[in-house]
Amino acid sequence: MNQKQKDRLKKKLLKEKEEILKKMSEIRSEGKEIEPGIAQDAGDKAESSYAKEFLFELSDTERELLIQIDNALKKIDKDDFGVCEMCQKDISSKRLNAVPWALYCINCQEKEERKSY
């Protein structure tokens, strides 16, 4: 992975981060609109709590991704970007292009996923 590729991925990461932050603030303002009190009857209440749960889950996932993106940006600055955290081998640039915040190479990722089943 050369400097040029890193710069490109850094830009991509920053853009992704920006989009998540934008989405998160949109979710937050939407969340305000479905505060209890607005929904009057029982049917509306059920619907609004369902929507809240859904938004909460969504923002949780985004938050997780945000942490991973920040982590990747730090790595680019420290110059240890693109190295698998498990086996210390280089992560393929093809994989990094698809998932710039990947922590593990594809082999280790698959091992991890198998473990969690």
Tokens 């981060």 belong to residue: 17
Residue 101 in contact with residue 13, Cβ under 8 Å? yes
Q: What is the rounded CA–CA span in Å between residue 67 and residue 103?
A: 12
Among 39, 86, 99, 103, binds Zn ion (CB under 5 A): 86
Q: Which of 92, 117, 86 is nearest to 104 (CA)?
A: 86
What Å distances lie between residue 47 and 30, 36, 59, 68, CA to CA?
A: 14, 11, 18, 32
CB of 96 to Zn ion, least distance (A): 13
Among 1, 51, 65, 108, binds Zn ion (CB under 5 A): 108
Contact code string over 40-69 relative to Zn ion, x by CB under 5 A: ------------------------------
Among 13, 72, 76, 84, binds Zn ion (CB under 5 A): 84
Q: What is the rounded CA–CA span in Å between residue 24 and residue 79?
A: 29
Stretch that binds Zn ion, among 13-21, 50-58, 62-70, 77-85 (CB under 5 A): 77-85
Using CB under 5 A as the binding criterion, the count of chain residues that bind Zn ion stands at 5
CB of 66 to Zn ion, least distance (A): 23
The answer to whether 105 contacts Zn ion (rule: CB under 5 A) is yes
Q: What is the rounded CA–CA span in Å between residue 89 and residue 104?
A: 9
- Which residues of this protein are in contact with Zn ion, per CB under 5 A? 84, 86-87, 105, 108
